[in-house]
């Protein structure tokens, strides 16, 4: 905001300066509050061919914040330069836990250069999924890493799919609930993938206001249609005849996620970032990215 103060009285100039300061504070507050972001995994195929052009196209569409995931493997300064050139800011990323466990300081420096605060894996480490004992070891690793990251000014986040809402035979809780119960608030935050949680039968608004209240700063805003899948004509040997369920990812507002209930629950839970993601879809990717931007930008967040 620029002002030409020539010809103004002292009183008018002071008033103008006050207005400028107020405008700056409001702009800062809006950024601090957070808002909407694009999960770049959504446009991964386009980025592999033309990263700079992909980032510019996202910015021209209206996106200002992104999550770095599924992108070309680049040095941190190159990532930051590409984002800066497009006028984008990275607020979150997906990366491996093992990388932090191997060289913590290197990873901290890398992602601070990129500029993001919320960092985490796309799911539980592969060697920690076999059974309850392995899962609990994974929870402990995440809790310990989260404590170190917290000390470095970063937040460890955990992204779910549907399997985290299944149960082990020897524990009545879902795997995701076990994860939340056995890690400390502040050490681990959920990055709740709303579509996969919904498709798994979770009452998403209730879960946000209950177990995740205060422990979810980012959500993956994703929509899905879940329906009964047709039974195969000739089931594989030893397989049941039932068709199970079919999940189709669709642009925001075109699926079965009850956004009118989910958005207020997100606000009650303390969500700061609504990160649009669509793993795949019918038609041209930029069409459903634009449709979802239009939907999300109109929500009362």
142 found inside a domain: yes
Domain span at residue 177 reads 35-232+241-297
* Average pLDDT for the chain: 90
Give residue 243's pLDDT. Answer: 53
Distance from C-alpha of 216 to C-alpha of 208, rounded to nearest angstrom: 8
249 found inside a domain: yes
Give the total number of structural domains in the chain. 1
Give residue 242's pLDDT. Answer: 44
287 found inside a domain: yes
Split at pLDDT 50, 70, 90, the class of 13 is: low
Give residue 230's pLDDT. Answer: 78
Distance from C-alpha of 189 to C-alpha of 183, rounded to nearest angstrom: 9
Evaluate if residue 31 carries a pLDDT over 50. no
283 found inside a domain: yes
Split at pLDDT 50, 70, 90, the class of 244 is: confident
51-61 vs 285-297: helix crossing angle, rounded to 10: 40
Give residue 240's pLDDT. Answer: 39
What pLDDT, in 10s, does the model give residues 216-232?
999 999 999 999 987 76
How much of the chain exceeds pLDDT 70, in percent?
84
Evaluate if residue 19 carries a pLDDT over 90. no
Split at pLDDT 50, 70, 90, the class of 26 is: very low
User: What is the longest distance spanned by two Cα atoms in the chain?
Assistant: 88
Q: How many CB atoms lie within 10 A of CB 266?
A: 26
| DSSP letter string, 221-245 | E-EEEEEEPPPPSSPPTT--S---E
What pLDDT, in 10s, does the model give residues 203-220?
999 999 999 999 999 999
6 found inside a domain: no
Give residue 173's pLDDT. Answer: 98
13 found inside a domain: no
Give residue 271's pLDDT. Answer: 97
Evaluate if residue 286 carries a pLDDT over 60. yes
* Tokens representing residue 124 in the block: 């539980």
Beta strands per DSSP E along 88-207: 89-94, 118-120, 155-159, 189-193
Quote the DSSP letter at residue 124: S
14 found inside a domain: no
Look at strands 223-228 and 245-250 and give their pairing: antiparallel
Beta strands per DSSP E along 145-262: 155-159, 189-193, 218-221, 223-228, 245-250
What pLDDT, in 10s, does the model give residues 41-86?
999 999 999 999 999 999 999 999 999 999 999 999 999 999 999 9
Q: What 3-state DSSP class applies to 38?
A: strand
Q: How many CB atoms lie within 10 A of CB 60?
A: 10
Split at pLDDT 50, 70, 90, the class of 8 is: low
CATH at 171: 3.20.20.150
What pLDDT, in 10s, does the model give residues 130-173?
999 999 999 999 999 999 999 999 999 999 999 999 999 999 99
Whether the CB-CB separation of 148 and 102 falls below 8 Å is answered with no
186 found inside a domain: yes
């Amino acid at each position: 905001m620029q002002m030409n103060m020539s010809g103004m009285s002292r009183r008018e100039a002071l008033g103008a300066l006050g207005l400028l300061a107020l405008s700056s504070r409001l702009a800062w507050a809006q950024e601090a509050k957070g808002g909407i972001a694009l999960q770049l995994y959504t446009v991964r195929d386009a980025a592999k061919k033309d990263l700079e052009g992909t980032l510019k196209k996202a910015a021209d569409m209206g996106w200002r914040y992104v999550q770095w995931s599924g992108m070309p493997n680049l040095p941190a300064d190159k990532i930051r330069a590409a984002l800066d050139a497009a006028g984008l800011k990275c607020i979150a990323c997906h990366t491996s836990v093992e990388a932090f466990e191997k060289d913590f300081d290197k990873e901290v420096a890398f992602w601070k250069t990129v500029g993001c605060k919320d960092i985490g894996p796309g799911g539980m480490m592969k060697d920690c999924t076999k059974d309850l004992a392995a899962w609990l070891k994974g929870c402990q690793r995440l809790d310990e890493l989260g404590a170190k990251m917290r000390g470095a000014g970063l937040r460890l986040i955990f992204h779910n799919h549907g399997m985290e809402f299944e149960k082990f035979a020897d524990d009545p809780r879902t795997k995701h609930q076990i994860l939340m119960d056995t890690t400390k608030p502040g050490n681990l935050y959920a990055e709740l993938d709303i579509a996969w949680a919904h498709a798994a039968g979770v009452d998403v608004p209730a879960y946000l206001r209950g177990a995740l209240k205060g422990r979810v700063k980012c959500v993956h805003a994703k929509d899905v249609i879940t329906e009964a899948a047709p039974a195969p004509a000739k089931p594989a040997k030893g397989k049941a005849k039932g068709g199970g369920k079919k999940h189709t990812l669709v642009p925001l507002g075109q699926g079965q996620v009850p956004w009118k209930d989910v958005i207020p629950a997100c606000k009650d839970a303390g969500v700061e970032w609504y990160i649009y993601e669509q793993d795949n879809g019918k038609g041209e990717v930029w069409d459903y990215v634009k449709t979802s931007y239009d939907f999300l930008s109109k929500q009362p967040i």
